[in-house]
Amino acid sequence: MIKPGARRSRRLRKKLFTGEYRVLGAECRVRFSRALLEAEIENFWDQLVALLGTMELQFGGGGAARVFSGFITAKGRYGGVTQEQLEKLDEWLKAQLLVASVEISEPMDAYYGCE
């Protein structure tokens, strides 16, 4: 376990992704209003990936015809998602007619979870 208040060199903070090198991400869960057809799923994912690309974000996870979940992080090695990016994503997902519910967590440490 990483001690949060321990003094570390810059090199070690970078290696452990702590301090100014901390990476933020958010959990995301989307439930569809009905089971989607394969073509609808592909179309939805194509649109979502395009949106995330414009926001310099990436998504790891998966799902099925009625629900998907995963973790969203920034494309860069360091940094992370911002509250504004998550709000934009939340608005876009809720505007989709096929989406019944959206749950996006607050930004959290991608390597060490909630503190």
For 77-86, b/e burial (b = at least 16 CB within 10 A) is eeebbeeebb
Question: Tell me: the pLDDT tens digits for 50-73?
Answer: 999 999 999 999 888 899 999 999
Confidence of residue 3 (pLDDT cuts 50, 70, 90): low
pTM, entire model: 0.83
Structural domain 23-109, CATH architecture: 2-Layer Sandwich (3.30)
Distance CA 19, CA 13 (A): 6
